[in-house]
Amino acid sequence: MSTLVEDNPAKHRFEILVDDALAGFTAYLMRGEVLVFTHTEVDRGFQGKGVGGALMRGTLDEVRARGATVVPQCPFMAAFIDKHPEYADLVADLP
């Protein structure tokens, strides 16, 4: 199974493709250099296969590479960051 996480700025979301099929996304709002993540969805056919975790890792790694930060309003992302404290430094407070 090949996966690719990429930003789709036109739709304000990071998407995960599994074998070239859209398997899920995490939506965000831009607030300067802060990305406020509001919602995550994984297609039912891909649930329970690690796709959500791969989406979070790919998204947060890209945010880190950009030098940006996140506000995880989405419960899925918030829970992922709680379980993976290596990403806790990316969490910002909204001004």
DSSP sequence for the chain: --EEEEEETTTTEEEEEETTEEEEEEEEEEETTEEEEEEEEE-GGGTTTTHHHHHHHHHHHHHHHHT-EEEE-SHHHHHHHHH-GGGGGGB----
Domain chopping of the chain, boundaries: 3-88
Q: At the top level of CATH, which class does the domain 3-88 belong to?
A: alpha beta
The predicted-structure confidence for 59-79, as pLDDT tens digits, reads as follows: 999 999 999 999 999 999 999
Task: Read off the pTM.
Answer: 0.94
The predicted-structure confidence for 22-33, as pLDDT tens digits, reads as follows: 999 999 999 988
Q: How confident is the model at residue 15 (pLDDT cuts 50, 70, 90)?
A: very high
